[in-house]
Amino acid sequence: MTTQVALDTSALMMPVELDVRLFDELDRLLDGYEPTAPQAVVEELRRLSEKGGTEGTAANVGHDLATERCLLVDTTASYADDALVELAEEAVVDYVVTNDLALRDRVLEAGRPVIALRGRNKLAITRP
């Protein structure tokens, strides 16, 4: 079975905002995986992309990455963080990628490891 890696809004905006080569970093950490994004994350990126500026640009790139490179999944939750926690709690995904500390704590509490920024532009795994 393929390792499922859920990406949150902050993760998908990392390439623009933090100059992180997201998929290269995931390739370095994991031996084969399927990037996954809840529809709630895609919707949040779409809303943020309408703001313009650096954040809007980052969200637009993130939206493109999500729709072009990720398996899009439906959840019962309409709020992005809740959708990611739902996927973690139900063991639909093996990892969640986020830079959001509150979300990280909720995912770890749900028993799933988190991949987050460590240092300037490297990702690392934190296990529950």
For residue 99, the model assigns a pLDDT of: 94
Measured in degrees and rounded to the nearest 5, phi and psi for residue 120 equal: -75, -45
Q: Which two tokens stand for residue 121?
A: 């532009």
Q: pLDDT tens, 4-63? A: 999 999 999 999 999 999 999 999 999 999 999 999 999 999 999 999 999 999 999 999
Q: pLDDT tens, 75-121? A: 999 999 999 999 999 999 999 999 999 999 999 999 999 999 999 99
**1 pLDDT higher than 90:** no
Provide the pairing of β-strand 122-126 with 114-118: antiparallel
- Per-residue CA distances from 83 to 5, 37, 58, 73, 79 (Å): 13, 9, 21, 10, 6
Our separate counts of H helices and E strands in the chain read 6, 6
Domains in the chain, CATH or no CATH each: 4-126 (3.40.50.1010)
Which residue type does 89 have?
E
